[in-house]
Amino acid sequence: MRTEVNNVVEVAESFWDELKEAKESMDEWSEWNSPTKALKNLQTVTSLTGSAMLCVEKAVISTGTILTSAEKRKAAAKLLDDKIQVPGMLELFDGPAFEYALTWVAALWNRQVGHKWPLQ
């Protein structure tokens, strides 16, 4: 991964206030052991996916770094993967799942608001 991507991830972390709550709400099996809990966690991850994308976009702008769309997705996926801890074997799948969710959300936003996202 390019150094610029890692730098953007570090700056993006400073924009994100929701990390601590997310990190502590999904890191044990007991927080995934029912359909209701699993659905709640997946909804949280979906919400945080958008937050991660906006934080990376803000970090890119504030640092003046030039990244491709794919590199921005990688940075957002790394941010999510580093900060959201899930139990045991789920860790093997969360990185690819984050990248898929980021791709889906970016495509949805691009269709709805174009390629200039509101960064408020």
Q: Given this model, what pLDDT does residue 43 score?
A: 83
Q: Is residue 51 part of a domain?
A: yes
The domain tally of the chain equals: 1
Is residue 100 situated within a structural domain?
yes
DSSP the chain: --HHHHHHHHHHHHH-SSHHHHHHHSSSGGGTSSHHHHHHHHHHHHHHHHHHHHHHHHHHHHHT----HHHHHHHHHHHHHHH----GGGHHHHHHHHHHHHHHHHHHHHHHH-SS----
Reported pTM: 0.75
Is 15 part of any domain? Answer: yes
pLDDT of 114 higher than 80? no
| 117, part of any domain | no
Q: What is the pLDDT of residues 62-108, one digit of tens each?
A: 888 888 888 888 888 888 888 787 787 777 888 888 888 888 888 88
Residue 24, pLDDT > 70, answer: no
Is 120 a member of any domain? no
Range of the domain at 9: 3-110
